[in-house]
Chains A and B, each alone.
Chain A
Amino acid sequence: MSMTTSWLLHLYPAAWRERYGDEFAALLDDCRLSPLNLLDVLRGALDAHLHAEVLTGRLLPMLDRLRRAEIAVFCAWVAFVVAGLGFQKMTEYDDFMEATRAHPLIGISFTAIQAGSIVVLLAVLVGGLPLALAALRYALAGRRFDVALLFAVPLAAFATLAAYLFVALHVANGAGASHRGPTAHDRVLAIGLIAVLILGAVASPWAVSAAISRSQVAERWYRFARIPALVTMLAMAVMCVADIVWGLALRAEAPHLFAGNGGVLATSTALSWLRDAGVMVIATVVAVIAVCRGLAPREPGATPANAQSVAS
């Protein structure tokens, strides 16, 4: 085996090499490694990493579909939560709460969003925790520290956010509190806070999803998570509609609030609502597509010849 072949082979996952390594190395030694072939091998290695367990028979294609759908719903939920935080921040002021009490449509839609957020949080915990714990157990038992370290990302993101909040509050209080609205100094701190929050919201679900994808998690946990994933998608759809109704009702019933600057960093209420509703709609559409593609029963395909579902 040439050095180049050996190097290229090591781009593939160990499980894939174990099954196809020798014959693939023979093929690479036989054929001329043109730049196009080299690119093709690189693409093949990426594909093998993305679908390692399916390609090596450790995971049924159906289960892979289910896993990808559940991960997509989880990531969509995280995006939804980030938009929901903007909504929550905007509606915490007294005048918004007063409008919630005074106008039934605003109140009902606001209550639907709050109730939905509790339902969806519980669904994500019920469906996601067993998967995350099973993946963590796999990582620790198999000494897969590359996988175990991924679980440290959400903790690190949370610690970074807490540390930033602590320092920002300290700096803001040290600079002297102003009663005349946010200063330029406060705005910089708040923009930094939003950046840290968004970075954490991107990195955390990516890390947890990658950890679960790289772990051998028992099939029953993926199957168990189907109902929570469906509930999550439905609750997101309800909240999405409720958020749109809330904005339209606010515009009709309390136009002075809608035209005001109640958004984060005293930005336009209308634009903040549009932004949050836009993110919620996109996240909900992603979740609906994932559920339709991954969780809907499908006519069984050809039976895998040597596929074995993970029993652990």
Chain B
Amino acid sequence: MATDLSDLGRFSDPSLLILASLAGGPKHGYAMMEDIGQMSGVRLGPGTLYGALARLEQRGLIEAMPAEDRRRPYRLTGMGATVLREQLRSLEHFATTGLGRLAAQ
């Protein structure tokens, strides 16, 4: 199973933000944009959001739920949770190493 989002090109960072947002529960597009903005300070554009959503759905990392009015919520799949966990652990290791080196200076 692939745990890497880097082959998504310019959609890899937005994809990670979306997975992290959906880890807090199912959300539709606008709710994701707001949540990601509050969580990371990054404001995803609508085109980028849906480019990343479509790719994540194709990979089976998220899945669409029944539409509510015109808004369709998405939720994290088991595979998506695993990929997110791996990515965050990798970032955690990177951050810990970097901070450790700074502290040693």
Q: Is the CB of B45 within 8 A of A302?
A: no
A41-B45 CB under 8 A given contacts A27-B30, A31-B33, A301-B2: yes
A106 at the interface (CB under 8 A from B): no
Tell me the minimal C-beta distance from B1 to chain A in angstroms.
6
A30-B30 CB under 8 A given contacts A20-B54, A47-B47: yes
Chain A residues whose CB sits within 8 angstroms of the CB of B59 once the complex forms:
61, 301-305
Chain B residues touching A, majority SS? helix
Chain A residues whose CB sits within 8 angstroms of the CB of B72 once the complex forms:
22-23
A154 at the interface (CB under 8 A from B): no
Q: Is the CB of A23 within 8 A of B45?
A: no
A44-B29 CB under 8 A given contacts A55-B55, A302-B60, A302-B61: no
Chain B residues whose CB sits within 8 angstroms of the CB of A44 once the complex forms:
45-48, 50-51
A184 at the interface (CB under 8 A from B): no
Choose among A36, A41, A56, A305 the residue with the greatest number of B CB atoms under 10 Å from its CB.
A305
A43 at the interface (CB under 8 A from B): yes
A83 at the interface (CB under 8 A from B): no
Tell me the minimal C-beta distance from B40 to chain A in angstroms.
17
Q: Is the CB of B83 within 8 A of A41?
A: no
Q: Is the CB of A23 within 8 A of B58?
A: no
Chain B residues whose CB sits within 8 angstroms of the CB of A305 once the complex forms:
57-60, 63, 77
Q: Which residues of A in the span 60-77 have a Cβ within 8 Å of any Cβ on B? A: 61
Chain B residues whose CB sits within 8 angstroms of the CB of A301 once the complex forms:
1-2, 7, 59
B49 at the interface (CB under 8 A from A): yes
Nearest B residue to A48 via CB reads B51
Tell me the minimal C-beta distance from B92 to chain A in angstroms.
22
Q: Is the CB of A24 within 8 A of B83?
A: no
- Give A269-292 as 1s and 0s: 1 = Cβ < 8 Å from B's Cβ atoms: 000000000000000000000000
Q: Is the CB of B67 within 8 A of A43?
A: no
Q: Which residues of A in the span 65-99 have a Cβ within 8 Å of any Cβ on B? A: none
B89 at the interface (CB under 8 A from A): no
- Give A20 to B46 CA distance when docked, in angstroms: 12
- Give A303 to B83 CA distance when docked, in angstroms: 13
A25 at the interface (CB under 8 A from B): yes
A54 at the interface (CB under 8 A from B): yes
B23 at the interface (CB under 8 A from A): no
A229 at the interface (CB under 8 A from B): no
A307 at the interface (CB under 8 A from B): yes
Q: Is the CB of A37 within 8 A of B71?
A: no
Report A's interface with B, CB cutoff 8 A: 16, 19-20, 22-28, 30-31, 36-37, 39-45, 47-48, 54-57, 61, 299-307
Report B's interface with A, CB cutoff 8 A: 1-2, 7, 28-30, 33, 45-51, 53-55, 57-61, 63, 67, 69-72, 77, 79, 83
Taking A16-B54, A28-B46, A55-B51 as known contacts, 13 extra A-B pairs with beta carbons closer than 8 A to each other, sorted by chain A number, are A19-B54, A23-B29, A23-B67, A24-B46, A27-B71, A30-B30, A31-B33, A41-B47, A43-B47, A48-B51, A57-B58, A301-B2, A302-B83
